[in-house]
Structure 1
Amino acid sequence: MISQVFILSSQGDHLIYKDFRGEAGSDVVNLFYEKVTALTGDQPPVVMRHKDVHFVHVRQGGLYWVATTTADTSPFTIIEFLNRLTALVKDYCGSLSERSVQMNFALIYELLDEVVDYGYIQTTSSDILKNFIQTEAVSSKPFSLFDLSNVGLFGAETQQSKVAPSSAATRPIQSSRDQGGKSEIFVDVIERMLVVIGSNGVLMKADIEGEIKVKCYMPTCSEMRIGLNEEFSIGKSQLRGYGAAVRVDECSFHQAVRLDEFDSLRILRLCPSQGEQTVMQYQLSDDLPSAPPFRLFPTIERDNGGRLLMYMKLRCDLPPKSAGINVSATIPVPKGSVSLSQELSSPDQSAELQPQSRAVVWKIPRFPGGTQLSALFKLEVPGFSSASMLEVGPVSLSFELPKITATGLQIRFLRLSPFQPGPAQRWVRFGMRTFDSDHEVGPGPSEDPVQDCFHWWIHCLLYLSQQDDVCWTESVCCLTS
């Protein structure tokens, strides 16, 4: 049973507040924000308590999504409700940004009225709610002249018209009254890789978690068939096919997915509902299909003046035609570090000392494959001692890699039912997300206090062309690592 639901910005601004039962006053909003900001560390606890009020929150889109309860309710139920609420808001508003929430506050209040009745959850299904929601979404996407760049002479199609913009999948779903929008399907292949490498170069830990998400903008349900690699295998069983093997340890599917063709042909069948849903999740541990894309060689010492010297050499082992972008290395430093001087190997790099997080952040906007960069950091640490050396590390590295998946998972084709009314636009697009800084890993067992702790979050978006059968271009082959 839920007493209140409210949404706060990262600065504590009140965006949405809904009181279902009147059991606690509105001052709990400020109380929650004070408790969150007073805590040390980057990630506050999901569940907190103040007297008889329990706070449960998730962080999505840079916002705090909070529910309160005074009853003996399972926190896992409320966490799942908040996650589904954020998915609903994203489906109906297009995004979870602060601007989108502010512009669609009336729509969000209407969603809360339909989803929760006197503290009891009624439904979180987009298909059911679209018949009752009357408020239209307000798009927060600004107009740009660059959107006209795909228009050629006399309206002729250009090469850029075959590429969907990055905001193509961040629009609201169609209501039951508005069927005039584009019929589109977006398939996301998202992989998160975590690799821990000791200072001696030995691989200590490797985990890959991936999922396939489908975002549907079709007004009516139509069967969709997604073809995966024929060599895709699950578990330690015998590998399939004659091509490059794609193996995972575990795999789970959405309840709506039909698997009658999966064992023999590796085809997923489903009738997607409007909005976003996770079709498949998979996991691979301690068996990397390829070597990590980056290697870090650190050297830590103390100079005659008592300063801490950190020499970092970073090598990119990607092919020469590939590149990592938005590369950021976070190096924990001793407590009390007051100043930083730096020597960087290229002018486009930057570095800064963040005293609150006790770390030096080294940023590289673009890192071509087959190259090497270096940096020398000199830190002034009052009261520096040999024990301070133990506070250095582990180093976490976050980056983005276009057109690559860690496991080599591919989408061979995506076909819609021939009974689909009207054409459905399908696009091919590749993108990437950076590592989520909330997922930090502490140092593992090592003789050296400095370790290489790599966090790899790869995000490939596959948007299908307008043809009935997908005609994959050469760029699709870049999915394999």
Structure 2
Amino acid sequence: GAMSASAVYVLDLKGKVLICRNYRGDVDMSEVEHFMPILMEKEEEGTLSPILAHGGVRFMWIKHNNLYLVATSKKNACVSLVFSFLYKVVQVFSEYFKELEEESIRDNFVIIYELLDELMDFGYPQTTDSKILQEYITQEGHKLETGAPRPPATVTNAVSWRSEGIKYRKNEVFLDVIESVNLLVAHQSSLIFLFVFVQVSANGNVLRSEIVGSIKMRVFLSGMPELRLGLNDKVLFDNTGRGKSKSVELEDVKFHQCVRLSRFENDRTISFIPPDGEFELMSYRLNTHVKPLIWIESVIEKHSHSRIEYMIKAKSQFKRRSTANNVEIHIPVPNDADSPKFKTTVGSVKWVPENSEIVWSIKSFPGGKEYLMRAHFGLPSVEAEDKEGKPPISVKFEIPYFTTSGIQVRYLKIIEKSGYQALPWVRYITQNGDYQLRTQ
């Protein structure tokens, strides 16, 4: 690139390497051992200059406090760019770590590697504008509004979404993976007049089946922690092309501004300095072709406008080891229905006349089960058939320890310079979103 520095090093006063980043791989990393002897020799001769050479390798260097920052290059690197880069490193590191000296380098390896990558990712010619870079590193991927630059984060706090000096007696992180299932099934019931009884086909037409996923976090961590989240290999993000058939392809992935996007695009690592408290780390969408988790069949019989009967079958189509909790099946009934009678094998049924519906509640609904409910109402009026069509049956549920997508948290690493131990807690929940089965 325009920059073409092969590698960047931070050395202590004796010339020992504290940290280095090899960008191009075209210069032997051990070349830096010649830097200090040459520097001392030139200093004695009184011919010290900001560019030193050894064989075909050039060292461009600056000194800051008790550190040397050195870039090596082979070709004719654009010298002014390399130096503006080194000064930029000093400026950005100082903003992140208050004092840029040996100790802050030792304490912040993780973040320093990230920053060195970020500064390099950013493409050199622009790095001369520190405001843009500052904006880029603190609010990654949130492009500047053109024409209306946001004020840069204050120098004391480079991470605009998290303040300094946060302290907790107990360091903990809670992470919830929540998937909401949106389902729309076209009508699959028979409306039967008089006494004709028809068995209903179980497969209504699934018009829409999608999952909207969200990873929500509650963070109670002291200091400036660096978090890394690893998801299972089954998960593919949109632009990875078609993967293995077992894989899950997430669409519309959106991250909170704290996530380092360049790092994610590079190796799919989700790394970030989290805000304090509660926030949504990421959201995604996914079209699924799994069987609807809870399937409802309904047979509705209307008898010569004097009464109406419902037979509702609910079926859980997920694995036996999972259980849906707090299941509610909402079945619409005519406005003028009265004198209800109910019979069910499980749970309880109540009539909610103000919503013109009955609600069948099942506290705990294990996978692979099938339950029946019958309801009977009187219909006093002899009114014309309503042409508007009926509201759909809707279902509410929550299945803990379960995701439809198969997404799993492999690890959640928490790194903070004071080295405290922190506990990560991870939960999975699948719940209904807009979950509707239309009756005829």
- Does structure 1 retain, via aligned residues, the 8 Å contact 2:216–2:282? yes
SS class of match (1:291): coil
Instruction: Work out which of the residue numbers 207, 211, 217 in structure 2 matches 1:208.
Output: 211
Alignment partner, residue 283 of structure 2: 281
Alignment partner, residue 232 of structure 1: 235
Deviation at 1:260, TM superposition (A): 3.2
Give CA deviations for 1:127-182 in whole Å, capped at 9, x if unaligned: x9xxxxxxxxxxxxxxxxxxxxxxxxxxxxxxxxxxxxxxxxxxxxxx99984521
Alignment partner, residue 192 of structure 1: 180
Alignment partner, residue 327 of structure 1: 327
How many angstroms apart in 2 are the aligned matches of 1:180 and 1:414?
Answer: 19
Partner letter of residue 352 of structure 1?
K
Name the CA shift for 1:303/1:389 in 2 (closer, same or farther; >3 Å): farther
Deviation at 1:262, TM superposition (A): 2.2
Unpaired segments of 5 or more residues in structure 2?
A: 1-152, 157-162, 189-203
Alignment partner, residue 222 of structure 1: 225
Normalising by the residue count of structure 2, what TM-score does the alignment of the two structures yield?
Answer: 0.55
- Does structure 2 retain, via aligned residues, the 8 Å contact 1:331–1:392? no
Alignment partner, residue 248 of structure 2: 246
How many angstroms apart in 2 are the aligned matches of 1:177 and 1:237?
Answer: 39
Deviation at 1:440, TM superposition (A): 8.1
Name the CA shift for 1:357/1:419 in 2 (closer, same or farther; >3 Å): same
Instruction: Work out which of the residue numbers 247, 257, 269 in structure 2 matches 1:255.
Output: 257
CA radius of gyration, larger in: 2
Alignment partner, residue 357 of structure 1: 355
Unpaired segments of 5 or more residues in structure 1?
A: 1-124, 129-174, 444-448, 452-481
How many angstroms apart in 1 are the aligned matches of 2:344 and 2:179?
Answer: 31
Alignment partner, residue 423 of structure 1: 421
Name the CA shift for 1:236/1:178 in 2 (closer, same or farther; >3 Å): closer
Query: What aligned pairs does 1:464-479 form with structure 2 within 5 A after superposition?
Result: none
Query: What aligned pairs does 1:49-448 form with structure 2 within 5 A after superposition?
Result: 179=167, 181-200=169-188, 201-235=204-238, 238-240=241-243, 242=244, 244-284=246-286, 287-303=287-303, 306-346=306-346, 349-385=347-383, 387-388=385-386, 392-417=390-415, 419-430=417-428, 432=429, 435=432
SS class of match (1:257): coil
Name the CA shift for 1:388/1:353 in 2 (closer, same or farther; >3 Å): farther
Give CA deviations for 1:286-310 in whole Å, capped at 9, x if unaligned: x315221111111011236710111
How many angstroms apart in 2 are the aligned matches of 1:381 and 1:247?
Answer: 50
Partner letter of residue 270 of structure 1?
F
Partner letter of residue 255 of structure 1?
Q
Deviation at 1:408, TM superposition (A): 1.6
Partner letter of residue 370 of structure 1?
G
SS class of match (2:394): strand
How many angstroms apart in 2 are the aligned matches of 1:343 and 1:389?
Answer: 29
Aligned length: 268
How many angstroms apart in 2 are the aligned matches of 1:407 and 1:275?
Answer: 27
SS class of match (1:263): helix
How many angstroms apart in 1 are the aligned matches of 2:369 and 2:377?
Answer: 27
Give CA deviations for 1:214-253 in whole Å, capped at 9, x if unaligned: 211012111111112334223375234x582111221111
- Does structure 1 retain, via aligned residues, the 8 Å contact 2:395–2:435? no
Higher relative contact order (CA 8 A, sep 6+): 2
Give CA deviations for 1:11-47 in whole Å, capped at 9, x if unaligned: xxxxxxxxxxxxxxxxxxxxxxxxxxxxxxxxxxxxx
Normalising by the residue count of structure 1, what TM-score does the alignment of the two structures yield?
Answer: 0.50
Alignment partner, residue 450 of structure 1: 439
| RMSD of aligned alpha carbons | 3.2
Name the CA shift for 1:243/1:412 in 2 (closer, same or farther; >3 Å): farther
Name the CA shift for 1:311/1:386 in 2 (closer, same or farther; >3 Å): farther
Partner letter of residue 314 of structure 2?
L
- Does structure 2 retain, via aligned residues, the 8 Å contact 1:229–1:246? no
- Does structure 1 retain, via aligned residues, the 8 Å contact 2:179–2:430? no
Deviation at 1:426, TM superposition (A): 2.3
How many angstroms apart in 2 are the aligned matches of 1:320 and 1:361?
Answer: 25
